[in-house]
């Protein structure tokens, strides 16, 4: 995991990616201090590549009113402050995920009711067909050819602003049921023109967007794609379709494929489990991408460095993206290095943090000598934390940082996603 890797001309110091995660915390599409701290802390935490959430190409292309955008110059300047911090304070690269919400737009923030329509201030969502994502979702308007052209230009403008903002990489979001993903899936795309029907036709509009963005994006910075490899619904796309979709994007110049799944239709029944999406990445890498010199990113319930090392050593993916693991521990990569006693360039601690780069000892030696003769020979009973968990020892007892007591005894099982 600490070996360098290249995505196109971009060389990353290690193979850990902070996965795109929607934060729903912007005002009028403008990222603020929260986003600076969120992404900046992950960059300081040692990951090779830090990805933004899905940054929306227009006001009506947002998922929620709290989503970020790149459709104004004010938004571009705010993103510039974040990329400047990452580049000046860390050796991480920072990537831009660009997308349009499509039929899943105009909804509440996740903690207010995920995928539920806004009670007020809503806008009309659009999709390839007038088919709702779920029974409680608004029915989207079937997008017209004129709107498709306008949205394509919005992607181009957002990509240009992203380049000006200093992003190192651009990922086109073609997963999770948003606009481009919904064109790819037969569950959401039932058009009877040249943009619907066969897989070749369903690929047409996402590839048109990709080609237009490629023209606008600097040629010396990678352009990548995120896909949903399985819709998890009968009659939807499967990994066999995903292999062909990846093949098409690679033929058009994609330099990495980020392999996710699902979230295309509310009827989905995914088979969750540890690293449950890695088999999809494995197939795409070894059937298509590896032979073309294209990197593949595995994502989904990958939580430990053992998982990451096993996936990469087995040749199932070139990089691993972790989302909730980085929410739990923004310094996940540096801590993984300390656990493995790795001290190379793939996990360089920021200078102000370098004093903490060694893992604290589990059991500190008991102090001895003058001044300590009055210490009790037996440890007093522990005091339980008010919220449960590991015990806290009385202050009078000499003990290394209490966090070390929580290390092995409290093993975190991440929620599936």
Residue 199: left (phi > 0), alpha (psi -120 to 50), or beta? alpha
Instruction: Using the structure block, give the residue that is written with the tokens 């903690």.
Output: 111
Contact of 127 with 41, CB cutoff 8 Å: no
DSSP state, residue 295: E
CB atoms within 10 A of CB 395: 8
Q: Crossing angle for the helix pair 73-89 and 33-44, nearest 10 degrees?
A: 30
CA separation (Å) from 177 to 2, 323, 386?
33, 19, 42
Phi, psi of 50 (to 5 degrees): -110, 120
Among the options 24, 71, 133, 178, which is catalytic?
178
In terms of C-beta density within 10 A (0-12 exposed, 13-18 middle, 19 or more buried), how is residue 358 classed?
exposed
Is 305 tagged catalytic? Answer: no
DSSP state, residue 46: T
Contact of 130 with 141, CB cutoff 8 Å: yes
Closest CA to 31 of 52, 13, 45, 7: 52
Active site residues: 178
């Amino acid at each position: 995991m600490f070996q360098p890797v290249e995505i196109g001309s971009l060389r990353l110091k290690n193979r850990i990616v902070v996965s795109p995660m929607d934060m729903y915390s912007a005002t009028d599409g403008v990222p603020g201090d929260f986003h600076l701290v969120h992404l900046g802390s992950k960059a300081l935490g040692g990951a090779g590549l830090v990805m933004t959430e899905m940054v929306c190409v227009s006001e009506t292309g947002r998922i929620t009113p709290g989503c970020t955008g790149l459709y104004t110059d004010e938004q571009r300047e705010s993103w510039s402050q974040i990329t400047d911090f990452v580049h000046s304070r860390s050796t991480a690269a920072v990537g831009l995920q660009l997308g349009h919400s499509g039929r899943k737009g105009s909804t509440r923030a996740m903690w207010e009711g995920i995928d539920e329509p806004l009670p007020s201030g809503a806008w009309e969502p659009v999709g390839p067909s007038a088919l709702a994502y779920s029974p409680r979702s608004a029915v989207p308007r079937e997008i017209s050819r004129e709107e498709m052209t306008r949205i394509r230009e919005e992607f181009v403008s957002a990509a240009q602003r992203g380049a000006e903002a200093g992003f190192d990489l651009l990922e086109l979001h073609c997963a999770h049921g948003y606009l481009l993903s919904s064109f790819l899936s037969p569950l959401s795309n039932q058009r009877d023109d040249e943009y619907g029907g066969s897989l070749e036709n369903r690929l047409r509009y996402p590839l048109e967007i990709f080609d237009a963005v490629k023209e606008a994006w600097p040629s010396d910075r990678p352009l990548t794609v995120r896909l949903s490899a399985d819709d998890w619904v009968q009659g939807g796309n499967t990994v066999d379709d995903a292999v062909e979709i990846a093949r098409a994007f690679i033929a058009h110049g994609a330099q990495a494929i980020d392999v996710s799944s699902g979230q295309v239709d509310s009827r989905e029944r995914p088979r969750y489990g540890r690293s449950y999406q890695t088999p999809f990445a494995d197939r795409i890498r070894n059937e298509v991408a590896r032979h073309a010199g294209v990197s593949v990113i595995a994502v989904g319930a990958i939580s430990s460095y053992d998982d990451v090392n096993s996936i990469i050593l087995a040749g199932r993916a070139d990089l691993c993206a972790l989302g909730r693991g980085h929410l739990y521990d923004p310094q996940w990569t540096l801590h993984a290095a300390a656990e493995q006693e790795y001290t190379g360039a793939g996990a360089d601690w920021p200078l102000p943090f370098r004093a903490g780069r060694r893992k604290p000892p589990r059991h500190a030696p008991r102090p001895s000598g003058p001044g300590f003769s009055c210490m009790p020979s037996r440890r007093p009973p522990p005091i339980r934390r008010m919220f449960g968990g590991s015990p806290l020892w009385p202050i009078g007892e000499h003990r290394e940082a209490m966090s070390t007591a929580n290390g092995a005894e409290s093993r975190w099982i991440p929620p599936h996603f």
